[in-house]
Chain A
Amino acid sequence: MRASRRYTIGIHVAAVVVSLIILAPFAWMALASVTEPADLITVPYHWVPKHVTFFRYREILHGNGDDVAGAFRQSIVNSAIVASGTVIISVTVGIFGAYAFAMLRFRFRKLTMMVFLTSYMLPPIALLVPLYLIMSSANLLDSKLGLIVVYCSYVTPFVLWILSNYFLTIPAELEEAARVDGCSRMGALFRVMLPVARPGLFATIMFAFLLAWDEFLYALIFTSTNNAKTIPVAIADFSGRYSTDFGLVAAGGLIASIPPVLLAIAFQKYVVGGLSSGAVKG
Chain B
Amino acid sequence: MTATLAPPVTSPDAPPRPRRRRGRQGRLAALLLLPAAVVVFGVVLYPIVRTAIVSFFEVNSAAPVTTPFVGLRNYHDIVANHEFWATLERTLYFTVVSTGCELVLGMGLALLLNAPLRMRWLFRAIVILPWALPTVVNGAMWRGVLNVQYGSLNAALTQLHIIGSYHSWLGSPWGALNMVILADVWKTTPLVAFFLLTGLQSIPSEIYESARVDGAAALRMFRSITLPLLVPSISIVLILRTIDAFKVFDLVYVLTRGGPANGTQTIAYFTYVQAFSDQRFGYGSALADVIVACILVLSAVYLRALRRTEMSLM
Contacts and interface: CB of A to CB of B under 8 A. Distances in A.
A282 B194 contact: no
Nearest to B36: A97
Contact of B135 (A41, A160, A216): A216
Contact of A253 (B39, B131, B141, B190): B141
B88 to A, nearest CB: 14
Contacts of B35: 92-93, 96-97
B205 interface: no
B36 A253 contact: no
Nearest to A94: B36
Contacts of A216: 135-136, 249-250, 253
B155 interface: yes
A97 B314 CA distance: 13
B313 interface: yes
Contact of A129 (B128, B247, B284): B284
Interface residues of B, number: 99
Given A122-B292, A129-B285, A280-B233, A260 B39 contact: no
Nearest to A249: B140
Interface residues on A, range: 35 or more
B176 interface: no
A134 B47 contact: yes
Interface string A80-105: 00000000011011101101111011
A44 B152 contact: no
Contacts of A15: 112, 115, 117, 123
Contact of B36 (A116, A185, A280): A116
A131 B276 CA distance: 13
B44 interface: yes
14 contacts: A19-B123, A22-B127, A100-B29, A104-B25, A122-B44, A123-B268, A153-B44, A157-B40, A185-B28, A235-B136, A263-B132, A264-B128, A272-B197, A272-B201
Given A28-B152, A129-B275, 8 more contacts: A11-B117, A25-B186, A28-B145, A116-B40, A122-B295, A153-B39, A161-B313, A250-B140
